[in-house]
Amino acid sequence: MAATLFIADLHLDGARPHIIERFIEFLRLQASGSNALYILGDLYEYWLGDDAPAAELQPTITALAALTGRGVPVYFIHGNRDFLIGHEFARQSGCRLLPDTAVIDLFGEPTLIMHGDTLCTDDTAYQSFRSKIRHPLTRRILLSLSANMRRGIASRLRGRSREATVGKRPEIMDVNAQAVEDAMTRHSVRRLIHGHTHRPAQHDLIIGNARATRYVLGDWYEQGSVLVCTPAGCELASLTD
């Protein structure tokens, strides 16, 4: 039975070539037999812009193009690390860019999908930074800079992010329960799939007196986390199992 696959938070980077190889193998072996693949953000550790892709990441674009060329649709939602991915990347890879939140028909079940960072509303410092860095004007300014300048900015931002993470309580960096309920209620869904927190799990909820489910995708630092969905339901899997 063909399945629909969901992944997020691969953070592909030339410093971790084995993860790049694992992703390419995943596209060739697992994703090639699927109904569709959804990438819910942070495919890359950072993305400087479609005009300045790192050479070591080019094989991933080629592999995505091979997959979409075989007729498997691939959908992409921006993460906090790769929000500068644009239409040229989509053209080269064959991926279809989706808005930050989208409701899809997943085997007859309306399902809300997103990267997940907007659900972490307790982390007010991050939400303030996100609203500024994701503003269309900021995006235009960043893309007007040279690739070297963007690379320097990305390096500094990653350093600040690591420092900020160390000083925050873990619960602050997780999703807010009310934000989850509000999002699912607003979109009239009983299933939510997201990444960002790197805490793979299935959470059974009650939303408006009805049963609901939230699936959290894991990262690819140590294992390849994949959510496999069929008409029978969804199940989290690991490529290293």
Rounded Cα–Cα distance for residues 118 and 115 (Å): 8
pLDDT tens track for 186-202 = 999 999 999 999 999 99
Q: b or e along 21-56 (b: 16 or more beta carbons within 10 Å of the residue's beta carbon)?
A: ebbbebbeebbeebebbbbbbbbbbbbbbbeebbee
Q: What pLDDT score was predicted for residue 168?
A: 66
| Sequence ranges of the domains in the chain | 4-238
pTM for this entry: 0.94
Calculate the alpha carbon distances from 236 to 11, 207, 217 in Å: 19, 22, 8
DSSP state of 51: T
Q: What pLDDT score was predicted for residue 167?
A: 58
Q: CATH classification of 4-238 is 3.40.47.10, yes or no? A: no
**Residues of the chain with confidence (pLDDT) below 50:** none
Rounded Cα–Cα distance for residues 63 and 217 (Å): 22
Q: DSSP for 102-169, please give it.
A: EEEEETTEEEEEE-SGGG-TT-HHHHHHHHHHTSHHHHHHHHHS-HHHHHHHHHHHHHHHHHHHHTS-
